[in-house]
Amino acid sequence: MSFHYVIVGAGSAGCLLANRLSSDPAIRVCLIEAGPPDRNPMIHMPFGLAALAHMRWLSWGYETDPEPQLRNRRLWWPRGRVLGGSSSINAMIYMRGHPQDYHDWARAAGPDWDWPQVRSIFKSLEDNRSIKDDHHGQGGPLTVSDLTQANPLSRAFVEAGHQLNHPENPDFNGAVQDGIGLFQVTQRDGRRWNAASAFLAPVRHRPNLTVLTKEQVLRVIFQGRRAKAVQLRDRTIEVLDGGEVILSGGAINSPQLLMLSGIGPGAHLRHMGLPVLQDAPEVGANLADHLDITVQAALADRTAIGIAPSFLPRAVRAAWAYLRRGQGEFTSNVAEAGGFVRSDSSRDRPNLQFHFIPAFLHDHGRSLSWGYGLTLHVCDLMPKSRGSISLASPDPMAAARISPNYLSHPDDLPVLLDGLKIARAITRAPALARHIARETLPGPAVTTDAQLEADIRARAETIYHPVGTCRMGLDPASVTDPQGRVRGVEGLRVVDASLMPQLVAGNTNAPTMMIAENIARMMLGRA
């Protein structure tokens, strides 16, 4: 069991890396995933997303520490624990972020991360089945398409935005990001196109690629300062001379694994009784995430996806259309529409993102809400608050401590407050208002800024985009160099969302895949 490359975690980044690094038959690659294969049909039927929140065996199901600015609530943080990682449980929205994001990355991590370079990578990875123009790619492994059908309420949301002078945007990854519109999704023929479908399935037959599932890596083993193997429960997987261990466990697990392996803040590791191989204070630091608040309303009609006996005939038709033709309501990614706006005109890019759901959504879908409703999410795309990942215990099977520290920066609450007001205004525009019986959240009694702020503190949740906990950078304090190589040791990289020097103004799946492709090219000498 010796390999040139041992990749830990088969998520958005890990599946892509396994594909690229095993393209040379002489290179032996092992991809190790803690979760099971992605066989559950609820993963592949897009609307199954609603059921995935209940399938705890496919998610790490983390909880944060009590959040001081959010009334000491612990927030639920799902992360995929299955082949495909979080791309197997996410909402399938295809979003690259704003060019300005990557100008910022280039300042932090050098020109390989600037927009012209990453734009060409996004295009090369893409097989856009719906938009064929200079902004998009065809023939790549990642299928992107329009929704096969959108709920009329999602279209009403777009119209409502338009009525408030937010222009309709037919392509958030095109010439401009601002505006309101329907999202494009990582789906092929009405089915989820996760990282495993895009990158792993086509190459599973390669004799030089070994994929292990239901195997959790407990730590990296070093010889001197060089990574030589990874420890599983009952055996080790070794790296051949000159090879590498690559951590692609995501923004929570990769820094946790580094710390368990002796790389992290020295005092913290000693406190945990762990030997310190490399004192790296920034491991687990710089945690950034998109905090989100919703407006919800009960409908006067049955346009939405409802939980009600009257929805049953529609559900039967939807199941039939999905099974027969890969079409119908069960191809919905639930978060069908959305958009980007600036809370004030001085911003150099949109700093608020909407996600519109033609249904009630409570507690991430974990508690069912009867009836027909709508949910409009809004999140702060450029938060200044930073949190951390640290160890709760030296036991590798114990969850890490997640302290997002939301709203700890004084600039963040006002932005979310602006967002909540804009979201509310959109739900009150005529195109949506005619469907609505009454606002249920924040609710008509909540009107003043102080009340709305209290509402945010009481209800805000993650929209699932943690990044930055193994920040890459040109500066020596960064955890990795701009190629993901962990500073202070040899033969060890991190390649996943934890590398991001800062959040992108958008969802994080495609940017994580772009990171993996960019670094794979550097490793293969094809940059």
Nearer to ligand FAD by Cβ, of 282 and 461: the residue is 461
Segment interacting with ligand FAD (CB under 6 A) among 77-85, 114-122, 273-281, 374-382: 77-85
Nearer to ligand FAD by Cβ, of 5 and 372: the residue is 5
| Shortest reach from residue 254's CB to ligand FAD, in Å | 7
| Shortest reach from residue 394's CB to ligand FAD, in Å | 14
Among residues 98, 355, 435, 465, which one is catalytic? 465
If binding is defined by CB under 6 A, does position 192 make contact with ligand FAD? no
Alpha helical stretches, state H, 194-265: 195, 250-260
DSSP state for residue 223 in the 8-state scheme:
E
User: What DSSP line would sit under 327-389, residue for residue?
Assistant: -SGGG--S--EEEEE-SSTT-SS--EEEEEESS--BGGGTB---B-EEEEEEEESS----BEE
If binding is defined by CB under 6 A, does position 464 make contact with ligand FAD? yes
Segment interacting with ligand FAD (CB under 6 A) among 273-281, 290-298, 384-392, 506-514: 506-514
Closest CA to 289 of 181, 398, 408: 408
Nearer to ligand FAD by Cβ, of 257 and 285: the residue is 257
Considering only residues 233 through 262, tell me which ones interact with ligand FAD, judged by CB under 6 A.
248-251, 253, 257
x/- site string to ligand FAD, residues 415 to 454, per CB under 6 A?
----------------------------------------
Segment interacting with ligand FAD (CB under 6 A) among 64-72, 277-285, 407-415, 509-517: 509-517
Q: How far apart are CA 385 and CA 368, in angstroms?
A: 32
Q: How far apart are CA 440 and CA 304, in angstroms?
A: 15
According to DSSP, the residues that pair with 144 across neighbouring strands are 128
| Shortest reach from residue 495's CB to ligand FAD, in Å | 8
Q: How far apart are CA 288 and CA 469, in angstroms?
A: 8
Segment interacting with ligand FAD (CB under 6 A) among 29-37, 129-137, 275-283, 477-485: 29-37
* Preceding omega of 442 cis (within 30 degrees of 0): yes
If binding is defined by CB under 6 A, does position 217 make contact with ligand FAD? yes
Considering only residues 84 through 143, tell me which ones interact with ligand FAD, judged by CB under 6 A.
85-87, 89-93, 95
User: Amino acid identity of 11?
Assistant: G
If binding is defined by CB under 6 A, does position 35 make contact with ligand FAD? yes
According to DSSP, the residues that pair with 352 across neighbouring strands are 341, 380
Q: How far apart are CA 106 and CA 48, in angstroms?
A: 38
| Shortest reach from residue 400's CB to ligand FAD, in Å | 10
Nearer to ligand FAD by Cβ, of 250 and 442: the residue is 250
Q: Active site includes 54?
A: no
Q: Among residues 48, 78, 338, 373, which is the contact residue for ligand FAD, using CB under 6 A?
A: 78
Q: Residue 430: how many CA atoms within 13 Å on its side-chain side?
A: 3
Q: Which two tokens stand for residue 104?
A: 């910022």
CB 195 within 8 A of CB 15: yes
Helix axis angle for 412-428 and 449-459, nearest 10°, is 100
Please report, as ranges, the residues that interact with ligand FAD according to CB under 6 A.
8-14, 32-35, 78-81, 85-87, 89-93, 95, 216-217, 248-251, 253, 257, 464-465, 496-497, 507-510, 512
Q: Catalytic residues, which ones?
A: 465
